[in-house]
Structures are given as structure tokens and as C-alpha cells.
Amino acid sequence: MNTPEMETNEQNGEQNEEMIGSGVLEVTEKGYGFLRQVKNGFRPTPGDTFVGKDFIRFRGFKTGLYIEGRILPPTKKKGGPKLEEMITINGKPAEEYTDIIPFNEQTVVDPHPQLKLETPGGPMEMRVLDLVCPVGKGQRGLIVAPPRSGKTILLQQIANSIAINNPECHVIILLVDERPEEVTDFRRKCLEAEVVASNNDQEVSNHTRVTEFTLERAKRMAEFNQDVVILLDSLTRLGRAYNRSVTGSGRTLCLSSYNIISLQYLQHLYFIC
């Protein structure tokens, strides 16, 4: 995502300053919003652009929309940067944001077409996946693997293969409770993917927040008829985060320390992907 950039034009001896900024919208409970940045893991920062209630209420904006627009620079009186005019929404002209069918109201169909993973001169693992467990658009999948068995490399290969063979797909790699070194490795090896991470040195609440924020972003893209692929690492660590964040019931499953409510959260998140 691009942070606001200053453009300066001089006309008739006058200097006009204009900022072009972008980010992913987060709507707060009070009705206004902010444009968050992927590089910050969608965490709130002082430099995030403010989006007024009028913008959100007029068009019914939801969390997850990628917005680019003209930004009023920060001032001492009005505080941080503020959105003045929208130029594009999810990559399309702002005036085309009409007749959007909500994600939950869209028709569910079987996975189709297939996402071919094999690439010329690429890793053999991708050819094996095409033969043994082909993947299609709209499909859910799980990789069950013990530690240090090559799961991370496999995810990176899948992300790069999809980017090469299916450039129309927007690949999001979501890393939850991950080591910062692993996050850096993903960003260096998966240049065409959007890497969103919540490191293991951050609060548990941030793990769940980033996950839900990323899913909302994917929903908004799907509502714009854009293809999105989410690769999550890992569902186990996400379950632990929800388990630590859930309080109250005290009910757990037999032979497991997972709270039933936390598993319901996981089930919900998995089946809406």
C-alpha cells in the first residue's frame, strides 16, 4: 500500500500542495474510519488518514475497501491527514461503486476453474499437487504437516505459482503469531503476494484483529468480482490466539485444551474463506 505522497504544482505564481494517499478502510464503531497500511499489519498509527462519517454513510462503505484519494495534509488545528476526495475504490473509479452484492448474499458454487500450479522449470511439488490434489477457485484446503517438514517452502511455492499462472488472482499471505524472520523471508521470496503479518512479539488481540481485517478485505475484493487467494500460516496458531482471547464459558473439549467458543470462531472463519 502507498503512504500519502506530496505533489506540488505551481500555477500563476501560487504554490498548491496536494497529497495522494491510499490504504485499506477500517470503519470504527462510531461511524468514521481510517485508512490502514499493509506494511504496518493494519495496526493503527498516528499517520493513518481519517475518513469522515459522510463518506462512509453516503455509500455504505464497509471495512476492507482499498481506497485511493486526495488527502488534506495534517495541520496543527485539524490534526492528522484527512480524506478529501475519493479517486478509486478497489482499483476502480469511485463512481462505479454501485449495485454491490454483499459477500454473504452471493451464490455459492463448486470450485472452478482449476488453478494450475505447475510452471516451466518450477518445483516438482507443484506438478504433484496438480495431479494428486488439484486446487480450484473457491476451494478450501488444509496442509497437515509436522514442524520442519517443509510447509513454509510449500506455501511460498504455491503463492509464486499462482502469481505466475494466474495473474488475475490477488494472493494474500496471512501470517499469524509468526517469527519476524519468517515474515521477512516470505516478503523477500513472494514478491507478487501481499504479505500481512502479526508477529509473535505482538498482543494476542492483534492476531485475531489482523485475521478478521484481512478476511474483510478479501470479501470486499470478491464483491468487486476480483479473485482472491488467502494462504494462512497457521490455523493452529490462530486457534491458540482465539483460545487465549476467549473468556467466560470455561468449557473445553475432551483431550483438548481448546475452548468450544474459540473453535466456533475458527469454523466460521474457515468456511467463509
Of 146, 115, 109, 108, nearest in space to 133 by CA = 115
The reported pTM is: 0.84
Q: How many CA atoms lie within 13 A of 235 on its CB side?
A: 18
Predicted confidence (pLDDT) per residue in 211-270, tens digit: 999 999 999 999 999 999 999 998 888 888 888 877 655 555 444 566 666 666 666 666
Place of cell 476467549: 246
Q: How far apart are CA 82 and CA 267, in angstroms?
A: 38
- Residue 23 contacts residue 49 (beta carbons within 8 Å): yes
Sequence-separated (6 or more) residues with CB below 8 Å from residue 210: 41, 42, 43, 174, 176, 196, 197, 198
- Residue 229 contacts residue 164 (beta carbons within 8 Å): no
Predicted confidence (pLDDT) per residue in 133-165, tens digit: 999 999 989 899 888 889 999 999 999 999 999
- Residue 168 contacts residue 227 (beta carbons within 8 Å): yes
Residue 259 per-residue DSSP state:
B
Domains of the chain plus CATH, in order, are: 5-96 (2.40.50.140), 124-272 (3.40.50.300)
Q: How far apart are CA 220 and CA 178, in angstroms?
A: 26
